[in-house]
Chains A and B, each alone.
Chain A
Amino acid sequence: MSTMNDSLVIARRNLIRMTRIPEMILFGLIQPVMFVILFTYVFGGSMSIGGSTDPDVYKNFLMAGIFAQTVTFATAGAGAGIADDMHKGLIDRFRSLPMARGAVLTGRTLADLVQTALTLLVLAIVALIIGWRPGYAEPTNFGRVMAGFGLLLLLGYAFTWIGALIGLSVRTPEAATSGGLIWLFPVTFISNAFVDSSQMPSWLQPIAEWNPFSATVQACRTLFGDPGVSPSDAWPMQYPVWASLIYSILIVALFRTLSVRKYRRADG
């Protein structure tokens, strides 16, 4: 019995399913592209980043935030997919097979990781087209940019495990979709993703700066050479790459453990 093999078999199953429901992939792509365009052109003119109100600065500041928000939205898809599986006869088949216990969940999160990577690729191309330039503020190189995307994928992967736990805890896939999304709004908005967090009320600032999500955004801005890197003294802002790695790994460890335990106990 091999966890990795079984997980890959299940991941393959979920990827085949995704290709059979292509509209799901399409909607997953349209949404972040829409966000990029809305934020850039609607908010872009009135935002001040590090004292500059140049829309070009905001555009380059914004992208890391949109990328990070996009990867976290995979949470809802993972949750809905797992909730759907748990309420169909198929889960009884899986549970009666001599397969690794966590594979149904791990397979799903791996498939979502592939979808997230695809979405990020499309989004990065759109960002480049409308004027995102890595190295706009500080010099960077290809390796650093790729490392930034690596951290984004890891964050997305970590969040799908939160989605998995939500999917296992609710009664319907619809509940998993909304339950997977609502809490993402405060998490992604009380952060440095869309605004300069130093302009927030003083009680909100530490929350934004210690938010695991902000660490990845800050890490990406640093690696991409984007403008608006927060000068805050908070540890995750000073060492954002390490903070992002540690946060993501902790989330995976915690939520994977809880999810697999819940899956094993589920009586269907």
Chain B
Amino acid sequence: MPGAIYAEGLVKTFGDVRALDGVDLDVPEGTVLGLLGPNGAGKTTTVRVLTTLLQPDSGRAVVAGTDVLKHPEKVRRSIGLSGQFAAVDEYLTGRENLQMVGQLYQMKAKAAKVRADELLERFRLADAADRTAKTYSGGMRRRLDLAAALVVSPPVMFMDEPTTGLDPRNRQALWEVIKELVAGGTTLLLTTQYLEEADHLAHDICVVDQGKVIARGTSDQLKAQTGGERVEVVVHEPEMIAGARAVLGRYGIADRGQDEVSVEDHTRMLTVPVSGGAKLLAEVIRDLDAVGVEIDDIGLRRPTLDDVFISLTGHAAALTEEENGGSRAEDGRGRRQTKEEAK
């Protein structure tokens, strides 16, 4: 029994470019699949095929139990699409946009109106309901776009880079909405360049690169492929590096034939592969304290999906400014968490 979203051997070429090179997917009902990859990996093309917008050259796809190529019109009744470019009419008000979409989903005018009001309330757009979408901020437009995709509460949702270009606060807010949706039983396929986002929202992750799925599994499975955890310590004074190094050396384990403590002098940061988790971190802190090493920062670092991506493809997931910002934010958050665990 195939899942709510199922694809087999999807191929699509544009001229010389093989945008999809045999993509297989299977998303069980009620789960979230994160399609993770850099720009041009084939994420959007996959979504366009599955949402009936694009005919593949070959392959088969079934969405909500219906063959996408044979009965696209039937598939359209069961799906919602939210894209990376907010697909709303900017000269229409928020309310008019949602009403129009409702009517095009074949709702009666009155029912579409009631539903529009519900959604405006739920997405915190009620105050702006009668302003044209042109006047909305980026976050508001994205919420309106998502509301439009949810007009009929479709059982299967596609979100193509839903948070690209959003500031962290709006991204967080959108994540909450997505989690609510999934808790309500919606099957979701989500594409993202943000490794953190896939980690946070998706049950399963497919890493795509150059039109192919190059790895799949849960976030933990993918991380396990990349190797274990590390302790990172930033000492207060450069003179303390030697002392810290001696302590950390006792905890190091062989990691791919390397049990050396690595040191970055200019940042006063020492890194060592370990096993033992948070409990071990507490011991390390006690030992460092015993030899008089003052620490500015210490953390247990688990491999991020960024590390996964680099180890799979040999290049980073994305080189955009936004992505760099995103990764930095993630590191900061990760460290805070591990400190709490250590206590």
New A-B contacts (14) at CB < 8 Å, excluding given A6-B103, A93-B87, A267-B54? A2-B106, A9-B104, A12-B100, A20-B91, A88-B85, A88-B87, A90-B89, A93-B81, A95-B53, A96-B51, A98-B73, A99-B106, A267-B48, A268-B53
A92-B81 contact given A1-B106, A9-B100, A9-B103, CB 8 Å threshold: yes
Q: B-facing mask of A148-192, CB < 8 A → 1, else 0?
A: 000000000000000000000000000000000000000000000
Residue from the set B48, B77, B81, B104 with the largest chain A CB neighbour count within 10 Å: B104
- A10-34 Cβ-contact flags toward B at 8 Å (1 or 0): 1011001100110000000000000
Contact between B52 and A17 (Cβ–Cβ < 8 Å)? Answer: no
Indicate whether A89 reaches chain B with its CB closer than 8 angstroms: yes
Q: Does A41 contact B (CB under 8 A)?
A: no
A89 with B85: CB separation less than 8 A: yes
Those of B197-219 within 8 Å (CB) of chain A: none
Asked if B83 contacts A92 (CB within 8 A), the reply is yes
- 13 pairs from A and B in contact (CB 8 Å cutoff): A1-B106, A9-B103, A12-B100, A88-B87, A89-B87, A92-B53, A93-B101, A94-B104, A96-B53, A97-B104, A98-B105, A103-B104, A267-B53
Given A6-B104, A97-B101, A98-B73: A17 and B83 interface contact (C-beta under 8 Å): no
What are the residues of chain B within 8 A of A17 when measuring CB–CB? 89, 91-92
- B-side contacts of A6, CB under 8 Å: 103-104
B270 touches A (CB below 8 Å): no
CB pair B86–A89 under 8 Å, yes or no, is yes
Residues of B within 8 A of A91 (CB): 87
Does any Cβ of A come within 8 Å of B76's Cβ?
A: yes
The CA-CA distance from A98 to B52 in the complex, in Å, is 11
Measured CA separation A99–B87 after assembly (Å)? 16
Of A10, A16, A93, the residue contacting B96 (CB under 8 A) is A16
User: Measured between alpha carbons, how far is A10 from B83 in the docked complex, in Å?
Assistant: 21
Residues 94-145 (chain A) with a chain B CB within 8 angstroms: 94-99, 103
Contact partner, B76, options A10, A89, A96, Cβ 8 Å: A96
Chain B 69-105 interface residues, beta-carbon cutoff 8 Å to A? 73, 76-77, 79, 81, 83, 85-89, 91-92, 96, 100-101, 103-105
How near does chain B come to A70, taking the closest CB pair, in angstroms?
Answer: 25
Chain B residues within 8 Å of A, Cβ to Cβ: 48, 51-55, 73, 76-77, 79, 81, 83, 85-89, 91-92, 96, 100-101, 103-106, 132, 148
Query: Which residues of A come within 8 Å of B, CB atoms?
Result: 1-2, 5-6, 9-10, 12-13, 16-17, 20-21, 88-99, 103, 267-268
Name the prevailing secondary structure of the A interface residues. helix
Partner among B76, B89, B100 whose Cβ is within 8 Å of the Cβ of A98: B76
Q: CB distance B52 to A95 under 8 Å?
A: yes
Contacts of A5 in B (CB 8 A): 103, 106
Complexed CA–CA distance, A201 and B305 (Å)? 77
Given contacts A95-B52, A96-B76, contact A89 B103 (CB under 8 A): no
Chain B residues within 8 Å of A21, by CB: 91
Give A258 to B100 CA distance when docked, in angstroms: 26
